[in-house]
Structure 1
């Protein structure tokens, strides 16, 4: 086992004409290490941009931070002495030297404060404000997009996803670290929202072990603006998590939309209800078996219809509940709009007077048989409702247009 040289060892070696090179790194204090780490960030910036970091509100926040840090390092004589042996680029030259000591208080929080930036950041010992090489590579991967030459193949997919979102067949979910999605595997065929663009994972390459031990893979990601990127799976995950507007777009069949039972993780959204009127209005009485009110509520259906006979939207008459469908993980308003679009051609054309004698045209009553309503709900569940509309002539669904 090697031992450290003592003063006597040094004297003996000196007599033998041997110069001892001391391990100065071992003598560095934690404060020295922090100073050197901060200077190395500046060196990387100079190497990348070919110039020293500059001040100015139009500059990147990291460049501004490095510029303030460099000013401070240049001003401190003890810092210059520590860093000059490492300053192969001549970064420290050209500034006056002062003898003001560099205290631990001069961390990046203080530097950011001088820039007028308020941020809850970790102490400089943790260097959380400094992007790691992996983070920088991830940012480069996301930004490094090129034109997608075969975009016409993917364009219909983006159009369909947008239709699904508009109709409520799909929804978006925020990335929440506690939910574990940051570590969830990304698979081919999934859609995301990143940087304001819809992103489609067209291909996932063979998995491999990254230096940190995690499993990773190379992806081909197509974006809705006709560009693409070839980035790592973990890079995409980190980018999505950090993007405040980043979202995952759910699959049309991701979890039960309508079911009698919920599973863990399902978020209840409400109930689709189908009602039949007990009104004695001639038009209603003539079509009672096929005339249905179709709506969506976030509360109890029973409470919703409690005062039906006083509400013109219920034709000022009591109603009976014909069918209900529990609703999970879907936007109620969009779903109701979808239902009304599909059944629009069969909307009841009727005008009645409310309790105050004002004319009212109810909009949620449709001349459609119950079995067709069931069929529409099933198509919403399996994601195939897009493009369908009810045809009153055949009393069935048909492709719109």
Structure 2
């Protein structure tokens, strides 16, 4: 029986000038050849992109498949032994402990498929491990990310947004609905800031829901020509996914005082004690919304003598104190948002003349609370009150054909 030399024996004999006759390595099996071919695809990816394939909803579908394949190659000692001499990029050894790994419950055939190995079949015409329809849809919906050739014009935008986030001019909020995806809006998805630079023509899906092709720029210098619904899904699945609010419009929307500031306005919400049939029937919904620079108690003094208060006493339901606001602009904005819910009522003043008050609205109090929060965020200008659903919606959120998704 031929003696088997260890690495140390080989080194010693080499120092002594003794050449060792080695047997020609056995040819590789078809399975080993396919594993190597699959690994070479990963090597080509690394050579092109400069990093190992990664998991993540924001990644190209093929990168995600390569990442699963690499996880399995790293996990199997057989593959490690086979591929180590070929791993000149040290892909197998540069394992990231924080990386998401593939499930361990794959059966043999599924495992071979992930490794790029097609199991042998009895009939040459049999097809196995063809990509599922879900994978095909993912490949279509998650557009390839490529280098943004004109990133120079977008880089200052990302830098400015970061400064505004740090200073509080902008804030992050949970992503809520597809209508928030509009050109010029910023999001955080997959740990990266994303800017919707362009939006194509709106189309209808088979489910009669709107969709559009986007040009999305990422702060790492890449871009994607993804569908609006693909971005929506990515934001919904990402626990850390956020929308970035538009800049707070200067001092108009401050909700706290700064040294030297003085309180300059209060939003007040009143409920009428009028016995007018329309008011009495909807008393919990009929609210007067206004802005004043005096105390609310002083503002409502003598309410029963003033047409603007429906010639009746009122109850203070809520007040919100703001600082450094432009009262006229703010009040006009609030009334414009709730315009469709404006109370259509005519009363007579103390001289018997007909008067149509304009500051009363059929709006639930919780919606008014939300509107004030939007004021503090600086985003109320983007919303309108939808009477049918009794909630604030972005102005573009009620598309044709009633697509509310």
TM-score surpassing 0.5?
Answer: no
Give the TM-score of the pair, scaled to structure 1.
Answer: 0.37
Give the TM-score of the pair, scaled to structure 2.
Answer: 0.37
